[in-house]
Amino acid sequence: MAEETNWAEEAWQQGVLKTVRNAQRIKDTFPHTSIQGEYDQNAPEWWTAGFWPGLLWLVQREAGTAQEADSLYRIALSCEEQLEVCLRDPDLVDHDLGFVWLLSGVAHYRQTGNADGRRRGLLAANLLAARFHVRGQFIRAWNFDSAAMDTRGVAIIDSMMNLPLLYWASEESSDPRFRWLAEAHADTVAREFVRGDGSICHVVEFDPTTGQKVREHGGQGHAPGSAWARGNAWALYGFALSFRYTGEARYLETAERAADVFLAMLGEDIVPPWDFRAPAEHQVAWDSSAAAIAASGLLELAKLSPRGEGYAAAGERIARGLYERYSSGASSAEEGLILQGTVHYPERRGLNVPIIYGDYFYMETLAKLRGREGWF
């Protein structure tokens, strides 16, 4: 056990040092992928905008000095203040409000009791609830138009990780409506996204008028019927969280099914291909972010499931493998913490590069192995 603790502590400290160093350059911008060793900058309305402040809050709560803690606090707060502008424009918010606000305003509030963080988090939860499709019983995903589908009736598997914003808002405000909407959406996802074999589809299109399911889309996976690795990771983690917040056994059962299928497809590997079922000629991109998400989700599931010991061992195995085989180490030539993530293979975007959400979930996993928690 001492050996296990030591590697996780070493990995955590290495990630802390690099995050603190990165903060000197990245400051209060919004990184997504690392390009030739340096993180890019995106607009605050981009869906990944919460992961950098979320990572800063993870590190800030254990900062080595008061000066370091204050510096990280100020950067995270500035990010949060920029993100609030998006809450004033309905075109700039979508189903990813949970990713953004659980890791910024809500994390701020949980860590310091800051009233503005709470206010922003509750406003974000109300905007997320407003996206609920009453007839279809799902939360609408995107705002943009698409020639491939009617996005007015689209939901995606990533949504499961945004539901904790609604669960938190329900607890924080003593208003059960937020939880009711979250459960209704989770039930729809369990019914329409989780296949008989336990694999997960990325995108489901519903008729925007009737709410009836129209078809499945491949989304960021190879095709309908495939198994996009990150989507399977979102599902196992997201349903575990729904069980943690509600105690409803059906969510635990779904999380276990998703976890078992993910681990069976992963086998002895650490990092999966971007899609487990992509044809051989497309098995050229990998996704360390899916591995990090799954590792953190497995550690969460380990605390909830009667089979927790096995899930804990699997999560630790993946986390250790990420550290020993995919970490960028202490190198100043690469800002990303873990290598070989893939953003969107079908569009050939961000292939085999560090990704900010991969870094966040990697550090969240290490925090859990050290007895701390993340922000979901």
Strand (E) or helix (H) holding 294 = helix 288-302
CB 288 within 8 A of CB 250: no
Give the CA distances from residue 214 to residues 136, 210, 220, in Å, rounded to whole numbers and listed in that order: 11, 10, 18
Number of helices and strands in the chain (H, E) = 13, 7
Of the residues 94, 158, 275, 287, which is catalytic? 158
Of the residues 96, 275, 287, 359, which is catalytic? 96
Q: How far apart (Å, rounded) are the C-alpha atoms in residues 47 and 32?
A: 9
Q: How far apart (Å, rounded) are the C-alpha atoms in residues 227 and 258?
A: 11
Residue 145 falls in the annotated catalytic set: no
CB 149 within 8 A of CB 217: yes
Residues 6+ apart with CB under 8 A from 4: 316, 320, 369
Query: What's phi and psi for 42, nearest 5 deg?
Result: -125, 165
* Helices 229-246 and 249-266, packing angle to 10 deg: 150
Question: 78 burial class (0-12, 13-18, 19+ CB within 10 angstroms)?
Answer: middle
| DSSP-derived secondary structure letter, 62 | T
Residue 158 falls in the annotated catalytic set: yes
| DSSP-derived secondary structure letter, 159 | G
Q: Is 296 helix (H, G, I), strand (E, B) or coil?
A: helix
Give the CA distances from residue 277 to residues 157, 192, 195, 219, 237, in Å, rounded to whole numbers and listed in that order: 17, 19, 14, 14, 21
Return the active site residues: 96, 158
